[in-house]
Structure 1
Amino acid sequence: MEDMINLILQFGDLNKQQIDFLLSKVKMLELKKDDYLSEAGKVPRYVAFVLEGVFRFCYYNNKGEEITNYFVDEGNFVVDNEKFESQIVASEYVQAVTNCKVLVFNKKDWDDISNTIVGWDMTKANMVKKCLMLAMERRGSLVSEDATTRYLSFIEAFPNLTNRIPLSYVASYLGITQQSLSRIRKNIR
């Protein structure tokens, strides 16, 4: 819980009473590998802080192919934020790639925090802004670079993930086949 509070404090000030209130609203949740934190076609139920494990955002394209859009690992919040805040049906899945332990806030408790802690909405906005900028930076290279450079950028952006997640997910994220990824990995060793 300390890691979550330390992350939040990077984006806004909270006193001891506010931190205690925030912690009173959080619950521990464990997900097994391949479980969903959020599913396409359903309203997202939680904002989660990842204590252990890796999640991926994914969807199916019009050909029925599974596309991995993003990864989130320890020390970060994971949520389909726009859909969660608006309480509308998600179009993506948020899936546990490994067994995961998370701290979760449901919508009611998340709203209670906003209605109780002065300045929380600005803190939240700053966290979302930082996450979006980071995601755009990481995804930006996938458009303009060749496959080898994209893989090297992936390793730089997600240094702790290469040995923890299936290569098929990495290949999907990079927009290449698994065979191409295997060739690239072999050539850069």
Structure 2
Amino acid sequence: MKELFEYILRFGNLNQQQIDFMSSKAVEIELSKDEYFSEAGKIASQVGFIVEGILRVCYYNNKGEEITKYFIEENNLVVDLESFDNEICSSSYVQAITDCKLIVFSRKDWLELLQTIVGWEVIVHKIISRALIQKVERRSPLVSEDATTRYLKFMEIYPNVVNRIPLSYIASYLGVTQSSLSRIRKNIR
């Protein structure tokens, strides 16, 4: 729980009573590797904070190929925001790619936090803004670069992820085949 509050307090202030109230709404869960936090075709019903592990957001294109959009590692919130906020079916999967420990809030409890804690909405807005900026910063350099440069940038952007996840997910994220990625890695060493 300590990690969650250290993270939140980077974006604003909470008093002890507010922290205690949040703690009372939080549930600690574990996701095994390959388990889903949320799924396409379903409405996202929870917000999580990753204490340990890595999740990925992915979808299937019209050819049935699995495409990894991005990775979320420790000390970050995870939620399919569009689905969660608008109560619509998600178009993406959020999947554990390592064993994960999360602190989770149900939709009902999250909304109660927003209604009860003064300033919580401002903190959440700052967290979401940071996450969106980070997503664009991580994705933009990869769009126009060649595969080797994209891989080198990936290693720069996700230094704590690169050796902890399957190559197939990295290849999918970079938009290359697994064999191409293996060649790139061999040429870099």
* Counterpart position of 1:161: 161
* Counterpart position of 2:127: 127
Q: Distance in 2 between matches of 1:110 and 1:77?
A: 13
* Counterpart position of 2:142: 142
Amino acid aligned to 2:165: I
**Alpha-carbon shift at residue 45 of structure 1 (Å):** 1.6
Specify the SS of the correspondent of 1:133: helix
Amino acid aligned to 1:66: E
Specify the SS of the correspondent of 1:51: strand
Q: Distance in 2 between matches of 1:44 and 1:96?
A: 15
* Counterpart position of 1:46: 46
* Counterpart position of 1:83: 83
Q: TM-score, normalised by structure 2?
A: 0.98
* Counterpart position of 1:73: 73
Q: Give the RMSD, CA atoms, in angstroms.
A: 0.7
* Counterpart position of 1:55: 55
Identity of aligned residues (%): 59
Specify the SS of the correspondent of 1:30: strand
Q: Distance in 2 between matches of 1:55 and 1:146?
A: 26
Q: Distance in 1 between matches of 2:147 and 2:51?
A: 31
**Corresponding pairs, count:** 189
Specify the SS of the correspondent of 1:43: coil
Q: TM-score, normalised by structure 1?
A: 0.98
